[in-house]
Structure 1
Amino acid sequence: MKKKIFILLSAVIIFLIGIAVWYSVPIDLMNLDYNEVKEIAVFNGNSGNTTHISDKGQIQYIIDNLNDVEVKRSKLSIGYIGYSFKLTIYLSDGSEADGWNNFIINSGDTIRKDPFFYSVIKGKIDYSYIENIVE
Structure 2
Amino acid sequence: MKNKKIRLIIAIVFVLIAALTIWYFMPTTFLSKVNPSDIKSISVFDGNTGESFDFSDRDEIRYVAENIQSTKMQKDTLSIGYMGYSFRISFFDENGKEIESFIINSSNTIRKDPFFYRCDGDLCFDYLKELEEKYSS
**TM-score in terms of structure 1 length:** 0.91
| 1:2-81 equivalence runs, <5 A | 2-31=3-32, 32-81=34-83
Extract structure 1 runs of 4+ deviating beyond 4 A: none
1:102 aligns with 2:101: yes
Deviation, 1:36, is: 1.2
Unaligned segments of structure 2, at least 5 residues: none
Unaligned segments of structure 1, at least 5 residues: none
* Aligned counterparts of 1:16 and 1:67: Cα–Cα separation in 2: 29
* Aligned counterparts of 2:31 and 2:101: Cα–Cα separation in 1: 12
Task: Name whichever structure is richer in strand by fraction.
Answer: 1
- Three-state SS of the structure 2 residue aligned to 1:63 is helix
**TM-score in terms of structure 2 length:** 0.89
- Three-state SS of the structure 2 residue aligned to 1:69 is coil
- Would you say how many aligned residue pairs link Structure 1 and Structure 2? 131
Across the aligned residues of Structure 1 and Structure 2, the Cα RMSD in angstroms comes to: 1.2
- Three-state SS of the structure 2 residue aligned to 1:62 is helix
Deviation, 1:34, is: 2.0
* Aligned counterparts of 2:77 and 2:84: Cα–Cα separation in 1: 16
1:84 aligns with 2:86: yes
- Three-state SS of the structure 1 residue aligned to 2:40 is strand
* Aligned counterparts of 2:8 and 2:37: Cα–Cα separation in 1: 52
Deviation, 1:56, is: 1.7
Amino acid of the structure 1 residue aligned with 2:112: K
